[in-house]
Each structure stands twice: as structure tokens, then as C-alpha cells.
């Protein structure tokens, strides 16, 4: 009953949290994130609806690629 898999999971989780933190720090320097063609923005008088559809798809593809590489 080893704890090896739990340790590996915690290391991967830590790396993931670091990557999210770096993304949040650098997000101001990447103005195209959240403003890609395909992101939905609806503005009315006192209402703004924003759904970053293209950004979500791009991030999903990148995360899928990263996890696929880590799994190999």
C-alpha cells in the first residue's frame, strides 16, 4: 500500500496551480486572450453578457494536449 500515485498526483496538481498562476499574472500582457474572434459579447444599456467561447475552446485544446503528453 504505497503512496506513490498520490505523491505524483500532488506534484501534477502543484504544477497545474503554478501554471494557472502564471497565466493570471501574464494575462494582462496577452491582450488577445479573451478577445478572440468567436468570443461572444452582447452589450445593452446597463447589461453586458460576455462568453469567451473561442478562448475556452483554445484552452481546452491546449490542456488536452498537455495532459496527453503527460500521460504518454
69 with 45, same domain: the answer is: yes
Domain range for 44 is: 31-72
Q: Output the pLDDT for position 47.
A: 92
| Per-residue model confidence as pLDDT tens digits over 2-25 | 667 788 888 888 988 998 888 778
1: exposed, middle or buried (Cβ count in 10 Å: 0-12, 13-18, 19+) = exposed
Domain count, the chain: 2
37 with 12, same domain: the answer is: no
45 with 21, same domain: the answer is: no
20 with 37, same domain: the answer is: no
- Average model confidence (pLDDT) across the chain: 83
Calpha distance 13→21 (Å, rounded): 12
pTM of the shown model: 0.56
All 3 cell numbers of residue 22? 502564471
Calpha distance 15→70 (Å, rounded): 12
Calpha distance 48→11 (Å, rounded): 39
**pLDDT class for 64, splitting at 50, 70, 90?**
very high
Q: Is the pLDDT of residue 1 over 70?
A: no
42 with 20, same domain: the answer is: no
Q: Which residue has the higher pLDDT, 33 or 62?
A: 62
The span from the first CA to the last CA of the chain, in angstroms, equals 24
Amino acid at each position: 500500500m504505497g503512496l506513490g500515485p498520490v505523491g505524483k498526483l500532488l506534484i501534477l496538481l502543484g504544477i497545474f496551480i503554478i501554471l494557472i498562476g502564471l497565466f493570471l499574472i501574464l494575462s494582462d500582457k496577452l491582450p488577445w486572450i479573451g478577445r478572440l474572434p468567436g468570443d461572444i459579447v452582447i452589450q445593452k444599456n446597463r447589461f453586458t453578457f460576455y462568453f469567451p467561447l473561442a478562448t475556452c475552446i483554445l484552452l481546452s485544446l491546449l490542456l488536452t494536449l498537455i495532459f496527453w503528453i503527460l500521460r504518454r
